[in-house]
Amino acid sequence: MKFSIQTEVQVIEIQAMCCDSQLHELQYTKFCCGNKTYDVYEKYCFQDQEILNLWENKCGGHKYDTREFICCRETLINRTHQDLRCCGSTSFNTNLQNCIDKRVVSKGYRWCPNCGGLVCGSGRGMFRYDTKNELCCNGTLYSVNSNVSCCHNTPFDKRFNICCGGQLRPKPELDTPVACCGTDPITDKNSLCCNGTLYSKNPNEYGCCGSKPYEFRKDRCCQDIVYKLSEREDCCKNRTFNKFDQYCYWEQEVLNITDNKCGGVVYNTRLFACCGGRLHPFYKGVDCCKSEAYNLSSQTCAYGHVVRKHFSWCKASGEYDPEQYECCEGRLNSKERKDESWRCCGSELIDYDDYDCCAGKKFNKRNENCCGDKMNMSFFTNK
C-alpha cells in the first residue's frame, strides 16, 4: 500500500502493508501471516495461522525440528536416517524395507493373506518366506519355479493345468497358452466367451451382447438386447430409434426431432420456448430471462428481471434508467450534476477525486487510510 498526505508544509510518502487490519512497515521479503509478518527466507506461515522456522513443522499440535524427527500419524519418531519414511504410525528405511498394507516388510518379502503376515503356516509351523524363491499356498510353503502357481489354495503345475474360476482344469495340449471362460478352458479358436458362457462362434464374425452372441453383419446390440441391423437406426439405451426422425435425449429416451423436454414435460420446440423449466409460446425474437420470456425488440434481461430496453434493475427499487440513476447496493442515487469521478461506495455515490471507499464507507484520503475494513488517521509531520 502506498499513499501520500498533503499538508500545508510538505508532502510525506508512506509505504506500509496491511495484515488482517494491522499496519506494518513495507519490506519486500516479508509477507502476512494473520496480523503479523514474516521473512520468507527464514520462516513460513503454517496453515495461514502461525509463523514457524523453515526447518520446523507441527505434529499432534506440537512444534518439532524436521531435521531430527519425522511425524507419522501424529507420532514423533527420531530421524535416524535420511531415507526414513512413514508406514502407518511407524517408520521404515526405504533402502532396506518396504511398506505393505501399513506394515514394515524387509525387501524381497511380502505378506501372505492366509498366513497372518510375513509368515507361512500357523502355530509352530510358521515360516518367513522369500517371494523370489518360495510360494505360500493354503498355509504351506512350496519351492517356486516358473511352472508353479496356486489355484484356490491348491498348488499346481502350469504346464499341465489351468486355473479357471478357482477350479483346476487339464490343458488340452502340454504347455500351450489357454484362456478361461468361467470355470472352463477355451480349447477352440472358434469359441466365443460371453459372461462365462462358451459358444461355438467365430470371434471375428460374432460378438457378445450380454450373455448372448450376435452376428456383426446382421445384428445390433443395444444394452444386452439384440436387434436387426439397419442403417436408419441407432441405439438409445436398450431400444433402437430412427435417427432421421428421432434422437436420443440425454442418452435416456427417444424423442421426435422437433421435441425437447422442459421441467420433465415433452414439448414441440416450434410452438413453445422453455425458460427455467416453464413453457412459453414461441415467436420470432423471443428469449429467456431466467424463467420468464421477453421480446428482444422492446425488452431486455437485467439481473434476472425483464425490463424495458435500455433500462436496468435495482434490487430495492426495481426498473430504472441508468442514464439518470446509479444503483448502489440496491439503492438508487441520482446522477444529476455528477461526472465520471462519482462512483458507488456502499449504498451511496461518492466523489473519488476527494474521497475513497473503505468497506462500504467513504473516507478522506488526505488524512485517513484504510487497512482491512478499518479507517485510520494517517501519520504526518509539520516542518
Tens of pLDDT, residues 251-304: 999 999 999 999 999 999 999 999 999 999 999 999 999 999 999 999 999 999
| Average pLDDT over every residue of 132-160 | 79
Length reported for the chain: 383
Query: Is residue 16 a contact partner of residue 370, using CB atoms and an 8 Å limit?
Result: no
- Is 143 domain-assigned? no
| Average pLDDT over every residue of 50-74 | 92
How far apart are the C-alpha atoms of 378 and 358, rounded to whole Å? 14
- Is 157 domain-assigned? no
- Strand-pairing partners, residue 242, are 233
pLDDT digits (tens, 9 = 90+) for 113-127: 555 455 665 544 455
Identify the pLDDT of residue 4: 45
Q: In the structure, what pLDDT confidence band is assigned to residue 2 with cuts at 50, 70 and 90?
A: very low
Identify the pLDDT of residue 144: 75
Query: Is residue 300 a contact partner of residue 311, using CB atoms and an 8 Å limit?
Result: yes
Q: Is 123 helix (H, G, I), strand (E, B) or coil?
A: helix
Min mean pLDDT across 9-13, 144-148, 192-196, 290-294 is at 9-13
- Is 355 domain-assigned? no
Number of domains in the chain: 1
Query: Is residue 134 a contact partner of residue 144, using CB atoms and an 8 Å limit?
Result: yes
How far apart are the C-alpha atoms of 253 and 244, rounded to whole Å? 16
Query: Is residue 139 a contact partner of residue 121, using CB atoms and an 8 Å limit?
Result: yes
- Is 271 domain-assigned? yes
| Percent of the chain topping pLDDT 90 | 50
Identify the pLDDT of residue 378: 56
The helix (H) or strand (E) run that includes residue 272 is strand 272-275
- Is 119 domain-assigned? no
How far apart are the C-alpha atoms of 38 and 47, rounded to whole Å? 14
- Is 295 domain-assigned? yes
Identify the pLDDT of residue 266: 96
Identify the pLDDT of residue 30: 87
How far apart are the C-alpha atoms of 226 and 218, rounded to whole Å? 10
How far apart are the C-alpha atoms of 137 and 131, rounded to whole Å? 12
pLDDT digits (tens, 9 = 90+) for 159-185: 888 999 889 998 877 656 788 998 888
pLDDT digits (tens, 9 = 90+) for 327-359: 999 999 998 878 889 999 999 999 999 899 998
Please tell me the number of Cα atoms within 13 Å of 365 on its side-chain side: 16
The residue among 110 and 313 whose pLDDT is bigger is 313
Return all residues near 162 (Cβ < 8 A) that are at least 6 apart. Answer: 168, 169, 170, 171, 178, 180, 185
Grid cell listed for 285 = 425474437
Q: Which of 155, 128, 153 is nearest to 145 (CA)?
A: 155
| Secondary structure string (H, E, C) spanning 170-237 | ECCCCCCCCEEECCEEECCCCCEEECCEEECCCCCCEEEECCEEEECCCEEEECCEEEECCCCEEEEC
Using only C-alpha atoms, what is the Rg of the chain? Answer: 38
| Average pLDDT over every residue of 126-131 | 65
- Is 283 domain-assigned? yes
Grid cell listed for 115 = 498366513
Give rounded-to-5 percent helix, strand, coil for the chain: 0, 55, 45
Q: Which domain holds residue 267?
A: 258-310
Identify the pLDDT of residue 192: 93
Grid cell listed for 1 = 500500500
- Is 242 domain-assigned? no
pLDDT digits (tens, 9 = 90+) for 229-239: 999 999 999 99
Does the pLDDT value for residue 242 go beyond 60? yes
Identify the pLDDT of residue 207: 95
Q: Average pLDDT, whole number, for the chain?
A: 85
Q: Would you tell me how many other CB atoms lie within 10 Å of the CB of residue 349?
A: 19
Q: Which of 368, 361, 363 is nearest to 347 (CA)?
A: 361
Q: State the residue for C-alpha cell 461506495.
A: 345
Q: Which of 33, 34, 30, 53 is nearest to 43 (CA)?
A: 53
CA 373 vs CA 23, 51, 362: distances in Å: 12, 24, 11
